[in-house]
Structure formats: structure tokens, C-alpha cells
Amino acid sequence: MFRTAELNHTLSKEEYAAREQDLRQELLTLQGELREADFPVILVFAGVDGAGKSETVNKLNEWLDTRLLYTRAFDQPSDEEQERPLFWRYWRELPPRGRVGMYLSSWYSPPLLDHVYGKITAEEFDERMSRIRVFEEALAADGALIIKFWMHLSESAQEHRLKKLEKDPLQKWRVTARDWEHWRMYDRFVAAAERTLMHTGTGTAPWKIIEGSDPRYRSIAVATILRDGIRRRLAERRLLHSAVDQADSDTLQAMVESSALPGQPTILSALDLGKALPKKDYAERLLTLQGRLNKLQRKAREKGVSSILVFEGWDAAGKGGAIRRITSAMDARNYQVVQIAKPTDEEAARHYLWRFWRHMSRAGRMTIFDRSWYGRVLVERVEGFARPQEWRRAYGEINDFEEHLAEHGIVLLKFWLHISRDEQEKRFRNRESTPWKAWKLTDEDWRNRERWGDYELAVNDMVEHTSTRLAPWVLVEAEDKYYARAKVLESVCEHLARALK
Amino acid sequence: MFRTAELNHTLSKEEYAAREQDLRQELLTLQGELREADFPVILVFAGVDGAGKSETVNKLNEWLDTRLLYTRAFDQPSDEEQERPLFWRYWRELPPRGRVGMYLSSWYSPPLLDHVYGKITAEEFDERMSRIRVFEEALAADGALIIKFWMHLSESAQEHRLKKLEKDPLQKWRVTARDWEHWRMYDRFVAAAERTLMHTGTGTAPWKIIEGSDPRYRSIAVATILRDGIRRRLAERRLLHSAVDQADSDTLQAMVESSALPGQPTILSALDLGKALPKKDYAERLLTLQGRLNKLQRKAREKGVSSILVFEGWDAAGKGGAIRRITSAMDARNYQVVQIAKPTDEEAARHYLWRFWRHMSRAGRMTIFDRSWYGRVLVERVEGFARPQEWRRAYGEINDFEEHLAEHGIVLLKFWLHISRDEQEKRFRNRESTPWKAWKLTDEDWRNRERWGDYELAVNDMVEHTSTRLAPWVLVEAEDKYYARAKVLESVCEHLARALK
């Protein structure tokens, strides 16, 4: 696999100069076009120590407009990072659309080194490669242009290069004992590298192998691949957009998913909305449950067990009220409530999960999402904000995301608060006529109401695809507020208690 | 995940009758359109025993035009199948474009049952799910519409159903001891099912969960999903084709990959074509090597170790001659030579790897491919027979395919026979003027020659992406035929000997 990068590729000063100027100009022009485009560029730099990974990144920082450029190198995970899901450190550093992100010691480094040092088996390594593949696929499906550079040196070239660096007083610091240790493990390192490239070199996130011995050659080679990659992706996106613009509405109509058979029971229609809890019993129950939750949260903090609660439900179903009954039982340092409204500019410029990734809290805390990533398969699906391919793909993406959370030991619980259409109207009317509640009611609420049936089907599909043992949906009969709040609190306590046992 | 399929979905006789007629007509019409389309439909039926998987397949066989329909159920692997790579039995049964293939006890069954019976760990199970995901992705990338039905019954519904079947003298045979055994393991089965659906439910190959208790409901539900799926995919393909038709040539031009930097050494230019072997030495060497190979092939047959040799190279580089030096040393029952020319109609109607999958031989044999799946990234790339996305994606697909072979223990060796452009011309002229060789030379050979530089870059990229420890490329300096033949024979002997140790 690496023989093509042991051919002694070099560029003379003259050849380099002849190419450099044009290339830099083309890259800057393309960066300008990219700025207006709807996809980010993700460049991964990996490879043999001494093959010029960071030097090449520096060179690109010199050539490109750095205002549109992100550069990140991942060191040992910080405390902050260790307390969150494995990929959190990568998720939050992804570039927005229109920008180029360059990554050193990326998501490939830890599994690769773990494998070389024999800390994980071949099966575990393969499984971690699969996870990376799924991660990159999700980004690529969202439009990201991903190019991964493997900077290579032959065993003797690496030795030569490390010795040369050591002799140069200005570069000496670059060579560490670890570099020499890696050099002595060259064969194992290259075998693991090959397995990496084999498993994660896909059509949508290809690896490019670059010979790293000549700085002039490697800079020009990387920059040329980057130029061609951006140029090609811009062309592909233009093609895609013009196709969608030109499609007749019949074609687009046929692409919209039809759901369960009409008239059949859904997961919501099967709920018994008659369930209720008398006010007196509720007051007592609330006190007991809140007391229990208060103890559990302290224990969770102590043990470092995080939890995430997701609240979805009809407008006016009582999400806010239920959430307040939870938070009022807790220490304010132990939780955060995240209100999900329209994405900000910054959020809209990234993968749709990014705005949730950024809210992962540290160990031992509870994060409560008032609306969540499920908007993708609810409002965005029903209102057509997401294209059919996008929301259909989202079920799998959400399951992958939640598996990351579960693997990190996070307790994840999802609530759908269900009321009848009549009850909703009653609550809307009540809001309208109560001065301090009127602001909560918008025209949009009335509009959403008209698509009740579509939402009901969307909820049904959502529960079908995403209710798992690791992250179950709790369907809450919320026609009676007291019953609903008690059921929510009870579920939270139960799941927390089980995780803390 | 399965609660939506425990809602007691039913259709009355009247409702069923009202839907059936239209649905059947629509399906037949769509089958007609599908016949002319450029993609196959792959339907997987999995789920709980007694949930009506095979009955539903029977129903579809009744409703659809069976001439355009494939139905396959996979039992215990036969001897034939066990002697070949794990997925071979599935590969060879895939439907051609324009057809619908229905699969019972599919690729999901073995890992699912192994997991339920505790024969594989959770990590191994996940890894097998990843392999399935990659397999289905490759089919979907090629255009296949994949829909996977999970037919579900609740624990009590399953008990009820099995008891009912047992009471019916005509259906009794359907219920085996194994069914009851599975029923007693219901929880473990459903947990494994959930993990399956979570890991393999993607946007391109989604799972649809169907409640299986009511035969009328499940037939109509499955047929409706099938109808909508085909209709949507037809619309998507129309959109895609019209987009490509309308793209201006500039756009398409930009989408073509540029390769290594021009003027730089390639893996071929770095070879020393001066290597030669005097005729006298050759005769002796040939005798020794052929003797060795003869022993090795007998040992391989005995031990059941299969091997695959791939020959690629310039026209007139001596592939045929080298192959004959191998086969003449072997027992004719132990090898087959597969000449790869233009795909037949039957082959062109399937995934491009299908025409290679079908030639996998039984244990202990050698299969020699004279040209191979690498045509995808050589001639198809250079001549534009494959679109850029197709051949770019092929590197990963080929690596996955070859990993299947390696995992099965097959020795895989790939040769590129290299000659200079001048030497090729000399050999062409010689063929022209030799009556019994003239037929070997076609206009196409002269045409290919004109694109020497493009081919050279394509070979370079191919070796870069697909030369792995499990399946290395051997680059053969073939300017001197004797040297080339000896090197090929030597490599074959060495690799076989190592595998037989």
C-alpha cells in the first residue's frame, strides 16, 4: 500500500516555484467560492512521525486565507474531554460549511496507537474503525468533503529524517524519545496503518498517500489534491442543486415517504388518556419522588454518572411543567436545561447534530433537553425543512449518536408527552385568555395543530426506529398534568436508581 | 423498538378486499416500469418465528409477476458453500437490475442466532453487523433499492400463534421443537434483534417493522411499503439521470479526478526493466519451479487451501504465457483459468463484482483470473465506462471483497506485468506479421496504447490503494519474458508454501 510513497518523489526549487504561485492563487479563489457553498472541508493528516504532517499544515496555513481555516491538533484528552463521550472532542471542533478544517492527531490516532502497543485486539481495532467509518459517513452524507492524507516515509527515510532533525539546533526539539520508539516499531506501525487505510478508505472519505521526504513535493502534492477536491465537489453540488431545482413536483412528491397504513392504531392512539392522579395524592407523591430524586442526583454526581433527559410532545402538553418538577428537586450545579428553538446561524452551518453535541455536560450532571435532535424526524420531516433522504437517514444517525452516549455510561431517557387534540385546544384557549401566558402561544402553534395526523405518524415512526433498551422512549399520558408529572419523575428515579446500583 | 408492532394492527376482510385489488394492480404496473430501470430491488424478511415471514413471501409471489421475481431461503450452508467465502452464497443469489429478490433466513440469520445462543461475543456480533452494513452499502451505492422487513410478534402473541398452528392439522408441520426453543429465549432474541436493527438500519437500507399477528394486515403493509419504495426510487433515478443529461461538460470535466503530480515517478517508472534471465538458466529454473509448484498444489488440495491469482498488465506483456507456465505444472482438476472480457448481459445487469463472485472455486483449488475486478479502476476508469464516483468507490469495495477472501483463508496474489512502450510496439508488430498471432491484435490494442500515460497513473493509484499484506501486488519486470515467468512462478510458490506451512 505504501510502495507508491517510497519512490523518492521530489520537486526541484524551480519546479516548485513554477507551481506554487498558480496553486496558491487557485486555492484562494476556490476558498472564496467555498465560502458561499453549503459544505465544509475536513482534512485529516496522519502518518509516520517525521513525514511532515505539521509542516504541511503550517504551509497550508501560509497559503490559504486563515480566516476561513480551522486547525486542530488533539493531544491527550483533557479532564473535560474524558468526562464526555469519546467523540465529543471531535464533534465540537468540526468546521462549519464554507470553511476548511485541518486535523492533526485526529480520531485515527488513539485506536492506531492502542493497536500498535497491543492494548486492543484486532477485533476491537476493526470495531473502532467501523465506528470511525460511520462517523465520517454521516458527515459525508451531510455534504462534507473529507480528504485524509497519509504522510509516509520508508523505514530508512524515517531514520534519516529523525537524525537530520536532531542535528539541526532549531528543529531538535521536534524529535522525542517517543519518535524513536515508534521508529523501532516501524513494521507494526505500518501494518496497523494498512489496516486503517483498508477499512476506512471509502469513496466518500478517501485516503491519499503522500511521500513525506521532500518538503517541496509533499506541500505541492497535498495542495493540488485539495484544489482538485474542492473544485470537484463544487461542481457536484451545482449539479445536485440544479437537478433539484428542475425536478417537477410530481417527482418530488413521489419521493416523500408514506407511513403506516392510514386508519391503523398508532403508538399514540393506543395510549389510555383517561389515566389521572387526584390532586391530593399528587402532592404527596411529588414530595416523595422529589426527595428520592434529590438523593439520587447527589449520588450520581459523586459517582460521576451523567444523565440526559429528552422531552418531546405536543405543544402545551406540559413539557415545561414536568421539567420544573425535576429541576426544583435538584441542586442547580448538577443540571442544565437546554431549550431547543430554531438553530442559530452557527448551528445551521454545521451537521444537524452539532447543536446537541455541544451541550454534552461533564461527569455526574443531568442535561435536560426541552425539544431535541428528534426535531429532525418530527417538525423538520413534517414541515419539509429536511429532505426525505435527510430525515430517513436520521434514524440511523440518531441511534449511532445515542450509542456513543450509552457507551460512555450516560443514562438516556426520552419522554413523549401525549394529549388529545381537544385537550390541546382547551389549553390554547386558556393561554390566549390568561395575560401572563398569552406570549407562549404563537400562530405557529395553531398551524402545527393542523398537521396533527402527520405528526402522529412521525411520532410513531420515531418510536419504532429509536426506542432501544439503551435509550428507551417513555410515552406519557399527559391529559392529566398530575399523572404525567408523577410518571415522568418516577421514570427518572427508576432509571437513575438502576444505573447507580 | 418493537412496541409499534404490538398495537394489534388488523384489517377486516372488507378493508383488505378494498385495498388488495388496487395494490396488486399498482405493483404489477410498477414491476413493468422496474423491468426497464437500472436497479434491482432486494427485500429481506427477518423476524420472530411464526410472524408470517414465509407466508408474506408466498403472498407476494401470488401478487407479483413471478417471472421478474427471485425468492431465496438460505438453509444450513452446503458443503459447496462452506468451502467458499462466507458471503458467497448471498453474492451469487443477488437479483439483476429490473428484478425483485426476496430473501428469507438471509445474511442476518447466522450472526443473530450465534449471538442469541451465546456463540459469539457482543464485539464479534457488532463486527459482523458492520460487515453486513458495508455489504449492503456497496449494493445501495450501485443503485439497489434495499428494504428489510422485521416481522414482529409479542411474546404472548407468539405463544398463541404457535399453539394455534399446532392445532391445525394442515399447518402443524410448520411448528418445530426449535420454534418453541426460540420462544423460550424470546427476551434474548428480541434484545439481539434490537441491536441488529440499530446497527444496520441506515438511510439506504432501512428496516421496516411489521406486526405479524394478522395475515391480512401484514400482507397489505408489506406490499404498500414495497409499492412506495419502488415508486420513490424510480422517481429518484429519473431525477438523477436528467441531472446528468443536463450537466454542462465543464461540470462533468471538473468531476474527473486528477492523479499524482505529472512528471513524478510512478510505481511503474521506478521498475528496472533491464532485468533478464538467460534462456539456458531459464530452462533449468522453470523445471525446478514447476516441480515445486506441482508438489505444492497437491498439498493445497489435500489441506483445502484455495488460492486466487490475478493477472493484469499491458497488452502483450505476456500474461497468457506466464499463466500457461503455471497451469502446465498443475493437475487440471485443481485449477481453472477465468478469462475476463466484456461483461455478458447477465453480468452487466448486476453489481460489477458479481461476475467475479460467481467464479469462486471450491476448497483446495487455484483460480487464475486473466484480467479481473481491477478493470473497474483501470480500463473502466480511463475509458470513462465507470463514472468517477463509481471507480473512486471501487478501491474500498475491492478491499472489502478481498478481505472476505483472506478471511476465508484464500491465498490471494496479484500480478502486474510491466513492459515499456517501445517493447509493446515491437511485440504488436511481431504479432501483425505472424499469421497465427495476428488475431490476438485488435484495433482496441492500438487505441489503448495511446492512453499509456493515463493507464500508468491508474496503475499507480490502484497499487497505492489495494496492495495490502493480505493481498499484495507483485510488480513484474516483463521486458524479458524469461525473467518475468520465473518471477511469477517463484512468487506463487513462495506464497503457497508460506500458507501451507
> Nearest 5°: CA angle at A467, between A463 and A473?
80
Cα–Cα distance measured from residue B256 to residue B247, given in angstroms and rounded to the nearest whole number = 14
Read off the pLDDT band of A1 (50, 70, 90): confident
> According to the model, what pLDDT value does residue A309 have?
97
Q: Which domains does chain B have, with CATH numbers?
A: 3-245 (3.40.50.300), 279-500 (3.40.50.300)
pLDDT in tens, B359-373: 888 889 999 999 999
CA distance B303 to B131: 28
Asked if the model's pLDDT at residue B258 lies above 60, the reply is: no
Which residue in the set A1, A388, A468 is minimally distant from B467, CB to CB? A1
Q: Would the pLDDT of B254 be above 70?
A: no
Predicted pLDDT at B77: 87
Note whether A5 contacts B: Cβ–Cβ < 8 A: yes
Cβ A392 vs Cβ A423: under 8 Å: no
pLDDT at B249 over 80: no
To probe the interface with A, which of B202, B412, B456 has the most A CB atoms within 10 Å? B202
Rounded Cα distance between A439 and A292, Å, is: 34
CB proximity A261 to B under 8 Å? yes
Triad A366, A371, A373: Cα angle to 5°: 90
- Contact yes or no for B397/A199 (Cβ under 8 A): no
- Chain B hits for A9, CB-CB cut-off 8 Å, are 261, 264-265
Q: Is A120 on the interface with B (CB under 8 A)?
A: no
CB of B264 within 8 Å of a chain A CB? The answer is: yes
- Cα B173–B176–B181 angle (5° rounding)? 160
Residue B248: pLDDT band (50, 70, 90) is low
Please give the residue that has the higher pLDDT: either A372 or A179: A372
Residue B181 at interface with chain A, using a CB cutoff of 8 Å: no
Mapped onto helix, strand or coil, the DSSP state of residue A76 is coil
Q: CA distances (Å), A42 to each of A101, A195, B265, in order?
A: 5, 21, 28
Query: pLDDT-derived band of residue A434, with 50, 70 and 90 as boundaries?
Result: confident
Report, as an integer, the average pLDDT of B172-198: 89
What is the reported pLDDT for A248?
66
Q: Would you call A145 helix, strand, or coil by DSSP?
A: strand
Pairwise CB contact (< 8 Å): A260 & B221: yes
Provide ipTM, 2 decimals. Answer: 0.83
Q: What is the pLDDT of residue A3?
A: 85
Contact B239 A234 (CB under 8 A): no
Write the pLDDT tens digit of every residue in A377-401: 999 999 989 988 899 999 999 999 9
pLDDT class for B253, splitting at 50, 70, 90? low
Write out chain A residues lying below 8 Å of B133, CB-based. Answer: 130
Q: What is the pLDDT of residues A117-168, one digit of tens each?
A: 999 998 889 989 999 999 999 999 999 999 999 999 999 999 998 898 889 8
pLDDT in tens, A304-322: 999 999 999 999 999 999 9
Strand order in the sheet with B473-477: B335-339, B366-370, B307-313, B411-418, B473-477
- Nearest CB to A393; choose among B1, B203, B257: B203
Nearest to B7 among A220, A267, A392 (CB): A267
Say yes or no to pLDDT of B293 above 80: yes
**What average pLDDT does the segment A487-498 reach?**
97
Distance CA B165, CA A50 (A): 70
Q: Please check whether residue B42 is in contact with residue B139, taking contact to mean a CB–CB distance below 8 angstroms.
A: yes
* pLDDT for A46: 96
Selection from A75, A59, A55, A63 nearest residue A161 by Cα: A55
Evaluate if residue A438 carries a pLDDT over 90: no
Q: If you average pLDDT over residues B5-18, what whole number do you get?
A: 91
Alpha-carbon span B484 to B285, nearest angstrom: 12
pLDDT digits (tens, 9 = 90+) for A320-341: 999 999 999 999 889 999 999 8
Residue range B225-241: mean pLDDT, rounded: 89
On whether any CB of chain A is under 8 Å from the CB of B260, the answer is yes
C-alpha to C-alpha distance for A225 and B464, rounded to whole angstroms: 15
* B305 vs B263: which has the higher pLDDT: B305
Give the torsion through C-alpha atoms of B57, B58, B61, B64, to 10 deg: -70
Q: What was the pLDDT predicted at B215?
A: 94
B214 pLDDT higher than 90: yes
Q: Is the pLDDT of residue B1 over 90?
A: no
For residue B231, the model assigns a pLDDT of 92
Instruction: Give residue B173's pLDDT.
Output: 83
Average pLDDT over residues B310-321: 96
Q: How many helices (H) and strands (E) does chain A have?
A: 21, 10
CA dihedral B251, B253, B257, B261 (to 10 degrees): -120
Note the pLDDT of residue B178.
Answer: 85
Give the pLDDT confidence of A98-123 residue by residue, as tens digits.
999 999 999 999 999 999 999 999 88
Query: Which of A14, A261, A412 to probe by mutation at the B interface, max B CB count within 10 Å?
Result: A261
Residue A259 has pLDDT above 60, yes or no: no
Q: What mean pLDDT value characterizes chain A? A: 91
Q: Is some CB atom of chain A closer than 8 A to the CB atom of B389?
A: yes
Q: How confident is the model at residue A258, as a pLDDT?
A: 56
In eight-state DSSP terms, residue B277 is -
CA distances from A22 to A18, A26, A28, A220, A231 (A): 8, 6, 10, 11, 15
- B258–chain A Cβ distance below 8 A for any pair: yes
- Give the three cell numbers for residue A161: 529524517
Chain A positions touching B123 (Cβ under 8 A) are 123-124, 127
Between residues B7 and B477, which one has the greater pLDDT? B477
Span B350-357, average pLDDT: 92
Report the pLDDT value the prediction gives residue B263, as an integer from 0 to 100.
78
CA angle A457, A461, A463 (to 5 degrees): 115
In this complex, do B240 and A244 lie within 8 Å of one another by their Cβ atoms? no
Q: What is the pLDDT of residues B458-491, one digit of tens each?
A: 999 999 999 988 899 999 999 999 999 999 999 9
